[in-house]
Amino acid sequence: MVKQRLAGSVEQVAPFCWRIPPDFKPGMRVEGRVYADERMIADLQGDPAWEQVAHVAFLPGIQRASLAMPDIHAGYGFPIGGVCATDPVEGGVISPGGVGYDINCGVRLMRTNLFYLDIKREIEPLVDRLFRDIPAGTGRIGKYHYSGQQLRRLLRQGVSFLREQGLATDGDIEHTEAGGCLDGAEPEEVSQRALARGADQCGTLGSGNHFLELQVVDAIFDATAAAAMGLEKDSVCVMIHSGSRGLGYQVCDDALKRLRGVPARYGIELPDRQLACAPIDSPEGRAYYGAMAAAANFAWCNRQLLMWQAREAFAAVLGSAWQRLQMNLVYDVAHNIAKFERHEIGGSMRRVCVHRKGATRAIPAGHPETPLAYRQIGQPVIIPGDMGRCSWVLVGRPGSMQQTFGSCCHGAGRRLSRTAAVKQAKGRRIDQELARQGILARSRSRRGLAEECPEAYKDVNQVVDVVQGADLAAKVARLRPLGVIKG
């Protein structure tokens, strides 16, 4: 193909891949690669996220390239949508900016044996009950409280701790990334302030872009994969998007303060102090990883308890046990995390630390970490859109292992800041606009809905077309929102 060059020597090297050469900025150790179509690239010109891709390429031990997915937008240090892998053997670092403040923010999808036409009249009672029973919004606490040794066990064990409490099943654990527990968690590295913030927040939705959605399967694109996941046309699903709440935020904040002078101590020069980092095998690096892994386990428990409460709400409204409704977890994926994984680099398998900051793992069929139920189709990849359009279920493809360390996009990606979105929504009733589309919206504040208005986001269909075109993931099913719960 003919390579197309853009401003700053950026060139198109594949139909959906753009290269930032390592001489774009002195100090880059590898090239940058951005997955996008031509319209997205045009919109990115002059965006600070573009420069952040180049800045990540300065990190010691980085392998292959600094990568960005099509939902890219500016974040703290790393762009949101950023992926990079660092090798401890080559002095590779770990950076809180490559994970983000909401550690293990992620999304899970639960299927049911219900069909839209069968429960059409129950949609509003279901949405109202979910809104009543599931704590959402800033400062809202839940019915689950953990402190002392119980909280430390939860941070170390993840969802298996909840299984002991009768709040999770073996199937839930099997269908959660990493089995709902990141190895290497060190609760002792989590500050008292973080522990206090998390004590009454497990099982709460939070605010911002977090949500719980009642959805219907709108279209099937891969019948075999959909059947393996238990998804049928017109069947009803529940999607949950949340993270580690105040505990994870505090872990990140604490780490950034501790790491402020660490790069200079190790002779690391960075173009942006927001990229504060430490060698993975240093005391500082190990301390952050241990605390981050504990926060990640908290996030998986948070989503598990949110799902458990959703199951109880359905059972109460429909008068049938959730097991009879076959409310089974399809999958849960993290999209703000740093994980040790094995990848082929330069012809050999190497253990690297993969940072995914607003990016989803997307491993293909046959991969040993793909759950057994999905070994023949690939890992489910769950991509939420905005409140007014749709969300997607994909499966990982071999191209992700070859190009992006088994990663793809995590959502639609913001195109407007929260302030700009509120300004655009001024004088409007977003809930009423959604109601006219047949979508029931419940929120603790009008501002919260305004910040998350549909036009604040890129078109998720365009984003998904890019990752499919680049062979990172393939379409399985499209989901349409029926009701949304927000803080």
Active site residues: 410
Two tokens at 167? 């709040």
Amino acid at 236: V
Two tokens at 262? 């660490």
Which residues in 436-456 are b (16+ Cβ under 10 Å) and which e?
eeebbbbbbeeebbbbbbbeb
Two tokens at 386? 């905005």
Two tokens at 416? 């407007």
What are φ and ψ of residue 258, in 5° steps?
Answer: -70, -30
Residues 6+ apart with CB under 8 A from 267: none
Residue found under tokens 């197309």: 4
SS3 172: helix
Nearest CA among 38, 251, 68 for reference residue 155? 251
What are φ and ψ of residue 18, in 5° steps?
Answer: -125, 135
Residue 466 φ/ψ region, left for φ over 0, alpha for ψ in the -120 to 50 degree band, beta for the rest: alpha
Residues in the chain: 487
What secondary structure, in 3-state letters, does 260-274 show? CCHHHHCCCCCCCHH
What secondary structure, in 3-state letters, does 356-378 show? EECCEECCCCCCCCCCHHHCCCC
SS3 455: helix
Distance CA 126, CA 118 (A): 13
Residue found under tokens 């077309």: 465
Distance CA 219, CA 225 (A): 13
Measured torsion, CA atoms of residues 332, 116, 137, 427, in degrees rounded to the nearest 10:
130
Q: What share of residues in the chain are helix, strand, coil (percent, to 5)?
A: 40, 25, 35
